[in-house]
Structure 1
Amino acid sequence: MEKVLLVNEIVKEKGALLFMQLIPESGETMSEFCQRLSQLLSSYDRQLVKVTCFGDLASQLAFELELTSRFGSEFPLTWIEGETCSDSFMNGIQVWAFKGQLEYFQAKGDAKGCSFEDEQGSYLFMGDLLSAPAQTPEDGYAELLLQVNSLLNEKGFAFTDIVRTWYYLDDILSWYDAFNRVRTRFFKQYGVFEKLVPASTGVSGKNKRATAVTMELLAFRPRVETVDLKQVQSPLQNEAGEYGSSFSRAIRIGTEAYQWMTISGTASILPSGETANSGDVQKQIAHSFEVIGQMVKNEGYSFNDITRATAYLKDHSSYELLQLFLCENPDYQVPLVVTQNTICRDDLLFEVEMDLVK
């Protein structure tokens, strides 16, 4: 089989924002990888807003030390556990950077945040948000949401300003239903359903503290009336809320400077909410890409507009089947960070998510 070489570098500049995705090159050391990131940031004169890392926890401490020795430790840095799908030390990183004034802040535990403004709106990232240990997973998650709400309020945002969340749940299959109940209850309490339901991803993933939940989020508050902030529906899937999972398929922020869209984790699910192609990873990969590809097309984007994209495989051995699909379907040869993480249902074998900007 001819292998598809994953694009090891995406760099897109839109106004003061810089979007990056980096994958280690074959044989590239951790130090060389961080040097490549440093040179890119220097050439674009940007400061780090957030870094999200995918890879085995065994590499986490060494990589964070290498990264913070070059860039300091103020920015949000989240490490998502997932078996590496290559011979590299990690699967890849996804980065936002900004040219202008940033405010970094520390939250409870190791969680950190970064806020900034451009002419269009105010932004806030929070990363490495971990639930507390020694609690039931759902209680820890509920406490985490209360913590998030307080932090947002302190920084002049409301919970309803959240446009995107990422959740990585230890032992996801044992308590995903309870996770959804807690999230839905919180959304009702804080009026999320009356405003905008965030896009979201929820897959498995351990964190360095061995707690039940790792969370990242992006909040956005428009500063001008011309900003178009909306939920995007999928033409091939119904809203997840119809089968008990409280997230939107995608969120789009349209400004005079750029059109940014974030697409939730997308798996092989029918409009009814049932799993399609159960047990067949090749068909699930094809179906997931068909769904996400139609959303991209309908909103006037192309895969050339991708700023980051993550593929989650339940089984590491499916990596070659994903490569085969990309080889046979050039229209879907998207730049991917590929990682092994369990999906939210036992019969789901693949999930893909992405951000795009034009």
Structure 2
Amino acid sequence: MNRFFKRKWLLHCYFWIGYSFYFFVVNALGNSRLNLGASFITVFYCAIIFYAVYLILKYVYDRGHILGTLVLMIGFYLLSGIFLYYELYGRFGLEIINNRYVITKHAFSWGKYIQTFLVMHSNYTVMAVGYYYYKSKLRESNDKLEAVKARLNAESSMKSFQYATLSAQVHPHMMANIFSHLKNKVDPYDAELGRQLSKLYRLMKFYMEAHHVDGATHILLADEVRALEQYLSIQEKVEPNPFYINLSCSGNLLRFSTAPTLLQTLAGNLFKHADLWDKNHPAKIDILVGHAGYRIKVKNKKRSGPQMMPSHDVGLRNVRIRMEYLFGTDFSMEENQDHEHYELTLCVQRYN
């Protein structure tokens, strides 16, 4: 960055030095008394006019401060006019009027003074405005190019993620054929196990669709509850001991949506950390749907003794991130716990 900055201003210096020689050669044709030093002084002051106007446009006008731009421009031109008067008619006696550069004790003339002021300032003001417009268009083109590159990179990344996701999944049709074959083999001997295989396939298909790159980010709360019920039904057959989780729902579950696999994540945390085998203190998952939103509250008794599976808070952190992505500030999540009990409350409330 510093190298680019130094190179940029070095090029500007080369330009003004070259322009000073050009200025001297062109004007010396009509004024043999003009020297190179006077040309450098004149061009240096013209460069000050150029950069002053350009910087005001870049750092004030660019930010939409039109009044500030006018005030600074007028202030600069007033100061420059005073300085120009002092140089032309002060004790140095350097005058630049009608190609006459070194004339001393020249009588003051408003007409000639205004002419000199306008010639010097208008030319380099126009140059500064043109340079500002060129740099603005160049910056706008670069921004568009960067935006296109960012979009292409995002699309490339999305395709890579999509490929990885699809590669990690088994095709649902193949899974359906496998589970159907197993169910037909098992049904004559154990109809209940056949039904469990069907539930397991539906749950697996639900997970696969929920984690598909192009899959829906929202699903109905009713569908999520139905998937949770299937999950708990399968767990009843998997767990060696009976567990106690009370699921209660009130309100119209068809009115609102949620993130796929949200409830399964919460139930999975119960199986990892909660005491689910105390019949007198069952874990609870309460879903209350109201007029403007819904609330999900999970309560459980903590498992005593050392934890079999350590908690990394990854599941709950992912829940928070996903729900905030979907609902923004309409979503809130709160945890409360003591030595024996844990409570988690998720709320989606539309305020508008």
Q: Which has the larger radius of gyration?
A: 2
Asked if Structure 1 and Structure 2 have the same fold, meaning a TM-score greater than 0.5 normalized by the shorter chain, the answer is: no
For CA contacts below 8 A with separation 6 or more, give which structure has more relative contact order: 1
Give the TM-score category using the shorter length.
Answer: under 0.3
Greater helix proportion: 2
The structure richer in strand per residue is 1
